[in-house]
Structure 1
Amino acid sequence: MAAHYATFGLAPATRAGAVLSNGAYEAHRDFWDFIVDGRPLLLRLADLDAVSPLAADLGPSLFTAHVRRLLLEEDAPLADGRYVLYGCPECEGLECGAVTAVIERDGPDVVWRDFAWQTGQAADLRRDGYPGIGPFRFHGAQYRAALENLLSEAGPERGAAASRRVLLVGQRVALPARLAAALRGIGIGAEITRDAAGASPDELRSYGAVAFGSAVGEAERTAVRAAFAAAGSSAVFVDLPVPVVPLLVARVEQALDRCPQDQRRLLRLAAVRGEVTVETAAPCRIGITAYRVDRLSRTRTAELFAGQIEAGTHRLAVDARATRGTAYVVARTSGSVLVAPVAGE
């Protein structure tokens, strides 16, 4: 198949971490996704939980090595000139599976072709190829400029460090301490303070989100917001309404998501008792969980839905008993998460 010209770019993306019901963690990963003809390449690959090699937490040397490979300044890491485009978000092992492609020069251009899912040193295109994906031909100058920009003075982080830090405003006891531990467990830096308004502007700009505990009064919240505004921070402010750590982790992950709206799978979430409305931009597998605190202050968790849905708006009937009282629902796809309160009847 002939490779037609396509535009090439890069955009920040996130694989949202999570605290699972069994206590295990899924890592938070910030990375650069490949934008082909204005659309993230990852969205073309069905419901794939993966990240590109251009991840912000790799460290300068390894990050630079991955960029140099994509620039074809180093040999391909796999047989037949194949390069890893997406891999496991939890490890770098090829045995977990990876999306690979042949990357080659063709005169002044760069061509990506023969996309496949690969778990060993050789790819079986007949069995594991991605029909309909590529080949893509990129103008060499545009391709190189996008990748070389990542090696500029700003470095591979380019704001990603801030997106992985959260300031918890509240007491260093109970819930904030458990939440901070959970966030650190999935790879998000978290600090607790009651004196955020007195911090230096540089310190305030290093946070991607600020979460207020329920005991923090409005005057203190106003002072914190004013300090962040004066520092020129773009941090997102969120409340911690109920003492349920997995729910609060999801709320923080949503606040940290910097992916443009038109590059997300999960677009909207709303809930009333007995029904959840969710909107997706592409076919994907989605999980929906309800959290509530009962009259005895016990946490109640219910898995409401898990399955594959098509792109569009869906109204899903759910167990009304799981959303009684003050309740919240969390929807997750590979890479994104949304939290919504259950509206009163």
Structure 2
Amino acid sequence: MGHEINNPLTYVMANLASAMESVSRLGAELTRAGERGLSSVAWPVTLQDTEALLKEAQEGAMRVRNIVRDLKFISRQDEERREAVDVRQPLDFSINMAASQLRHRARLIKKYDSVPLVFADGSRLGQVFLNLLVNAAQAIPEGNAEEHHITVWVRAGPPGSVLVDVSDSGCGMAPAVLSRVFDPFFTTKPVGKGTGLGLSICHSLIRKLGGDITVRSELGQGTTFTVTLPTAPDAVPTQAAPVAPAPHAERRGQVLVIDDEPAVGRSLARIIGMRHRVTVVNNGEDALAVLTSGAPFDAVFCDLMMPGISGMDVYERVRERGDGIAERFIFITGGSYTTRARQFLERVPNLQIEKPFDVESIHQGLGQLLGASRGSE
């Protein structure tokens, strides 16, 4: 995990340092030019170079964000929570987590058919798929990735079930090994390299979810594990969701930002302030004071977890007044929830945006609110 985070974080920090140095040098050149009365300057770096550095840093920051978001699949080790799950979500999590091992050994092939939602625990599925992918990678020697493949295939099974295949073109297993592959403590790895519990635990987890896991393999011809999962009640096939453009509000709105981290508040204000009027406060007490002042806010971006009066408390007190402003709250969450916070988010119908947020999600959420308010006028 540290490796996966440190790689993008390294070039994020390096690129931002270079970009800041470039901007500083540009500013110094412009200052000297102004003192000499020059109308044109030979800049030491181009704006295109600086833009490229910042774009690459942004891409790295998004990778870090996605890795942290993926941790939600392994954050609930103490409870099993079965619900309707799009099996592609925990599968993609596992692929992301195993990427550093996969890329040096094989080409990854994804085949996602249209399938119903499954009735399972996404956290448990993430553990199972990650184990299967790592095992597939370890069955293939390093250094010849183009000649090997690991294929994940999501497909419809018999009525009431979904199948997920994890196949590799690795060394395969002899019949004697194949017959014991799910036995606890059985392993073909060297001492200190494996406990022999991984596949046994996978088998147990899938069976507890009402599914099954089977394997077929031939020595020298590769291996395929097939996970069978029950569909969710009244499940319908999942389709690849089309990427819709963010609805941008046409009119200029009045927006309140509530966040106890000043830098986050300033960031939101810069994003929103290009199109709307923004007020920023940094605690629940000031938020309540502003919200009870009579100012007509069209939207309220509110941090969920704050010391003192939390975002949940602010919402509840505003909702009690019954003036409709509570319906315009958009909650910003950091991904760390208390039991109360989790239950709160499951109960309220308001929009939710996770930190670290991106510009498009902010505009999209705001566009939805302002669009809804226009429709009700």
Whether TM-score is above 0.5 comes out as no
Larger-Rg structure: 2
Structure holding more helix per residue = 2
Structure holding more strand per residue = 1
Higher RCO (CA < 8 A, seq sep 6+): 1
TM-score tier (shorter): under 0.3
